[in-house]
Amino acid sequence: MSRKITISKCEENTHYSVSVFDSYGTEHHLGYKGQGELHELGMSIIESRAEEIWANEVKPKEDLMSKAIAECIQSDIDRGIEPSLD
């Protein structure tokens, strides 16, 4: 996954949602900004916050239990058995 900054309209087109995604796909929401506030801040402040997040990103811990359950379910499906989580 690539790093990116997203700015999208929300709240009846009066505010913008600003988010940063790190290389692991984790979203870091920077908040809601009005159009005037967004122009006052400029991209340099948003970019500096993004660079700070990217410099300190941490790989999320892998959920081994969920992965094992998913593999068991897939194994059942591959063998033609209907999976049961009971």
Per-position pLDDT tens, the chain of length 86? 689 999 898 867 788 889 999 998 899 999 888 888 777 777 778 888 999 999 998 888 888 998 899 999 999 999 998 887 76
Check residue 11 and give its pLDDT: 66
In a domain, 86, yes or no: no
Burial of 18 from C-beta contacts in 10 A (0-12 / 13-18 / 19+): buried
pTM: 0.62
Range(s) of the domain holding residue 76: 1-81
**Domain total for the chain?**
1
Burial class of 50 by CB neighbour count within 10 A (0 to 12, 13 to 18, 19+): buried
